[in-house]
Amino acid sequence: MESQEEGAVQAEYRAALLVRVRTAIRNSGLAQRDVARHIGLDETKLSKALKGTRRFRPDELTQLATAAGVSVNWLLSGTDDGMGVSAIPAATILPTRHSEDSDHAQKRRTIVEQAWWLFAERGYSSVRISDIAAASGTSDSTVHYYFRTKREIFAEALRYSVKLAFDRQIAELHLYPNPVDRLKRLAFLQLPAGVRGRAEMSIWLQIWAEAAVDPAWQEGHAQSYRRWSQTVHDIIVDGQHSGCVIAVDADELTQHLTALIDGLIIKVLTGMLTSDQMYEQIEKFIDRTVVTPAS
């Protein structure tokens, strides 16, 4: 049962969260109704959440952070430093920060987000600057004002994908104190399921392809991948300390699990598996290969 002291701490935490949410919305340049639409939330429910009479779900916080151009980590803690559940991305692999007003920041985010969708759905080579401008409701010259080349936008789209993955992990993984449950949830969050999930993994697949033939893409991809791999590794080590994950080389076990997930993502995106079948195989692998027999 929650003590009076714990209840007071939780109330203070929720109050601070709401202050940061309101600040993020105010600084985003978006009207509250636009934020609600972006989240897919009724405006009345958003109003109740902002007043503290309704709690934000993890997925709502993730989408709110995306709309406002902040991280879930910042919404929850007021900082972009670590919270212990997901490896922290280096500043170089998160969306680039610029000293600009909310109007320019919103235009830049719109260009990146619309380009991200176009790259995911059509492929990098098939998308033109004019396509990005049309989808963003602006002109070619405006796109070039923010980004010199399409390649620069694609690099920012990768950073946007890193942020999406990190936001999901920060919003949800702390809800799973058991390392095995947390590892399975992490795998679930990587599924190419739904329109957005498939789009995100399409971006990653294209980055893999670019890195395979162009050394210029390899370091950016490697930094992003190391963050994801480190998150898997940290959960495995946590599980070994608590006795629910087998005592083998954690680096090797991380390689096996991430390789399985990567390969299954490709199979789902190419129509060989469904995302449900992918998760079933991952769950069986974790239960058979990662979890200790006693667990």
Final residue of a domain: which of 35, 50, 81? 81
Q: Are residues 257 and 271 in the same domain?
A: yes
Residues 12 and 91 in one domain: no
Q: What is the pLDDT of residue 17?
A: 87
- Domain boundaries, position 19: 1-81
Do 120 and 63 belong together in one domain? no
- Asked whether residue 166 is domain-assigned, the answer is yes
- Please tell me whether residues 17 and 135 are part of one structural domain: no
Residues 72-95 pLDDT 10s: 888 888 877 665 678 778 788 888
Same-domain pairing of 217 and 280 = yes
Write out 80-139 in H/E/C secondary structure: CCCCCCCCCCCHHHCCCCCCCCHHHHHHHHHHHHHHHHHHHHHCHHHCCHHHHHHHHCCC
Type of residue numbered 87: A
Residue 33's pLDDT is what? 87
Average pLDDT over residues 181-206: 95
- Which residue among 81, 107, 138 closes a domain? 81
Percent of the chain with pLDDT over 90: 60
pTM for the whole structure: 0.83
* pLDDT score of 2: 54
Is residue 62 in some structural domain? yes
3-state secondary structure of 243: coil
Per-residue pLDDT tens digits for 215-268: 988 888 898 899 999 999 999 999 999 999 999 999 999 999 999 999 999 999
CA–CA separation, 35 and 199 (whole Å) = 21
Average pLDDT over residues 177-201: 95
What burial class does residue 175 get, using C-beta atoms within 10 Å of its C-beta: 0-12 exposed, 13-18 middle, 19+ buried? exposed
Q: Are residues 246 and 141 in the same domain?
A: yes
Residues 57 and 201 grouped into a single domain = no
Q: Are residues 192 and 100 in the same domain?
A: yes
Coil, helix or strand at residue 291: strand
Final residue of a structural domain among 56, 81, 106: 81
Regarding whether 56 and 102 lie in a shared domain, the answer is no
Least confident piece of the model among 24-38, 103-117, 275-289: 24-38
110 assigned to some structural domain:
yes
pLDDT tens for residues 134-170?
Answer: 999 999 999 999 999 999 999 999 999 999 999 999 9
Residues 70 and 98 placed together within one structural domain of the fold:
no
For the purposes of burial, counting CB atoms within 10 Å of the CB of 229, is it exposed (0-12), middle (13-18) or buried (19 or more)?
middle
Looking at residue 240, which CATH number applies to its domain?
1.10.357.10
Please tell me whether residues 61 and 87 are part of one structural domain.
Answer: no
- Is 194 part of any domain? yes
- CATH number, domain at 8? 1.10.260.40
147 with 29, same domain: the answer is no
Whether 295 maps to a domain, the answer reads no
Please say if the pLDDT value at position 8 is more than 80: no
